[in-house]
């Protein structure tokens, strides 16, 4: 009975010691065993491990590739154009001991890396023109940025896997100025197009008016020619008729003259048929009656 009283506390003590002595390193982690803050052992392989209870503690570090979103940074290009650059990086802890001694944890590491990345972006992109930063040559600049950041990150036991620019925008004031300039340019082009259209309309109208004038002139000319030909033909017929029967032709012409002079109008003529050559046919008609 007395033995059982001692066994239970011993089991509890062993369990407590085992609980504080055993730790598991997962596949995604690596561990540093510290003794009163002094690193004693680095564990990079997953599995079950032991430490001295109450004397040693374990710090776990991520072994995967981690992402870092750097805060947007304003960059002034070599042509004094401003650009807001939003970059991100991917990094990996390759030396846990150096990482722990230099930065201690991921939060501090991310802050230090963001500062290094933004500083490197300013130093590299600041030597380039804005046109270069927006072209395919930007990949070369990113390689230079990654190389520079890697040189600094190695001091922290970190390897930079990649650095990329997510977005490169103009500042709001510049965007508004560019929008206004583009709007002014489009309005100028619209006015130019309208002026060209008006000029073309005047040209087309004047060409059409000229063609109409030429067509009308040709038509009038042809009409006068045809009229002259008709008058000539008529005179020829009259001449032939006069040659065949001069008496009838004289009578016909007199009838036409009577029709023109006597029909219509308000003018009155008082003449004697016997005394006027004009009414000789009337006189002959009266004498016959």
Do residues 163 and 92 share a domain?
yes
The pLDDT of residue 29 is 92
- Whether residue 19 is predicted with pLDDT greater than 90 in this model: the reply is no
Q: What end-to-end distance do the CA atoms of the chain give, in Å?
A: 188
Residue ranges making up the domain that contains 264: 234-288
**70 lies in the same domain as 171:** yes
56-62 and 82-93 as β-strands: parallel, antiparallel, unpaired?
Answer: unpaired
Asked whether residue 200 is assigned to any structural domain, the reply reads no
- Tell me whether residue 53 is in a domain: yes
Give the residue from 140, 175, 210 where a domain finishes. Answer: 175
Per-residue pLDDT, averaged over 213-220, amounts to: 86
**Which of 150, 175, 200 marks a domain boundary?**
175
State whether 57 and 76 are in the same domain. Answer: no
Is 97 a member of any domain? Answer: yes
**Is 212 within a domain?**
no
Domain-embedded: residue 211? no
Q: How many domains does the chain have?
A: 3
Task: Give domain status of residue 181, yes or no.
Answer: no
Same domain? For 155 and 82 the reply is yes
* Shared-domain flag, residues 149 and 133: yes
Q: What is the mean pLDDT of the chain?
A: 79
Q: What CATH number should be reported for the domain holding residue 128?
A: 3.30.479.30
- Which of 29, 62, 95 terminates a domain? The answer is 62
75 closest CA partner among 128, 144, 148, 152: 128
| 16 plus 52 within the same structural domain | yes
Same domain, 75 and 51: no
pLDDT of residue 286: 45
pLDDT tens track for 85-125: 888 899 999 999 999 999 989 999 999 999 998 888 888 87
* Residue 21 pLDDT > 80: yes
Q: Which pLDDT tens digit goes with each residue over 240-283?
A: 766 676 766 767 776 676 666 666 556 666 655 555 555 565 55
Question: pTM for the complete prediction?
Answer: 0.54
């Amino acid at each position: 009975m007395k033995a059982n009283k001692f066994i239970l506390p011993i089991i509890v003590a062993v369990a407590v010691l085992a609980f504080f002595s055993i730790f598991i390193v997962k596949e995604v982690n690596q561990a540093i065993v510290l003794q009163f803050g002094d690193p004693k052992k680095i564990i990079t392989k997953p599995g079950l491990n032991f430490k001295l209870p109450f004397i040693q503690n374990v710090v776990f570090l991520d072994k995967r590739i981690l992402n870092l979103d750097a805060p947007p940074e304003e960059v002034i290009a070599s042509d004094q154009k401003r650009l807001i650059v939003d970059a991100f990086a991917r990094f990996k802890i390759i030396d846990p001991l150096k990482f722990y001694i230099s930065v201690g944890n991921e939060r501090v590491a991310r802050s230090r890396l963001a500062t290094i990345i933004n500083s490197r972006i300013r130093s590299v992109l600041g030597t380039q023109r804005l046109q270069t930063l927006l072209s395919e040559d930007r990949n070369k600049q990113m390689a230079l940025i990654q190389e520079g950041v890697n040189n600094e990150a190695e001091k922290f036991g970190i390897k930079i896997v990649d650095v990329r620019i997510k977005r490169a925008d103009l500042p709001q004031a510049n965007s508004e100025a560019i929008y206004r300039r583009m709007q002014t340019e489009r309005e100028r082009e619209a006015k130019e197009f309208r002026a060209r259209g008006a000029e073309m309309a005047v040209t087309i109208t004047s060409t059409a008016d000229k063609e109409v004038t030429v067509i009308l002139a040709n038509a009038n000319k042809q009409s006068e020619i045809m009229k002259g030909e008709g008058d000539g033909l008529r005179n020829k017929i009259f001449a032939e008729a006069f040659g065949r029967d001069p008496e009838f032709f004289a009578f016909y012409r007199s009838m036409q003259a009577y029709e023109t002079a006597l029909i219509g109008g308000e003018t009155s003529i008082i003449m004697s048929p016997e005394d006027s050559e004009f009414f000789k046919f009337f006189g002959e008609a009266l004498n016959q009656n």
